[in-house]
Amino acid sequence: MSTPATPNLEEIATPESCIADFCLIPLGTPTPSVAREVAAVQRLLAKSGLKFSLHSAGTTVEGSWDDVTRVIGQCHALIHSQGVVRIQSSVRIGTRTDKKQGFQDKVDAVEKLLKEEEGGA
């Protein structure tokens, strides 16, 4: 029985599209509020050209794997440039290959089911 060959890393492409949910947490800020840092991140995302949505516990962003991970790194760099020396982020990234689906499509699917349940009750 032979072992599969280890692929050449240069031959493995990153996914064409992904949806990431991330929560960037600046540590050691002068006040408990991080609204200024969150606003700075949102302004950067608006300039990125990627589709994104702020929610109460983070931000969802979609695009190519490379673009999404790059912009999350740029968010870190931006907040560091504002004097925050430590940042902790939680990131969840989903990919799929069977169909193209954006984050709003996922929300719409659940809302549709909920509406159908309300109509049938």
**Structural domains of the chain sorted by starting position, each given as residue range(s) with its CATH number in brackets:** 14-120 (3.30.70.930)
Average per-residue pLDDT in the chain?
93
pLDDT score at 88: 97
Report how far residue 75's alpha carbon sits from residue 92's, in angstroms, rounded to the nearest whole number: 16
The distance from CA 4 to its chain's CA centroid, rounded to whole angstroms, is 33
Rounded average pLDDT over 9-22:
94
Rounded average pLDDT over 25-30:
92
What does DSSP say about strands 18-27 and 58-63: parallel, antiparallel, or unpaired? antiparallel
Percent of the chain at pLDDT > 70 equals: 97
Q: Which residue has the higher pLDDT, 3 or 62?
A: 62
In what side-by-side order are the strands of the sheet with 58-63? 51-55, 58-63, 18-27, 86-94
Per-residue pLDDT tens for 61-73? 999 999 999 999 9
User: What is the model's pTM?
Assistant: 0.84
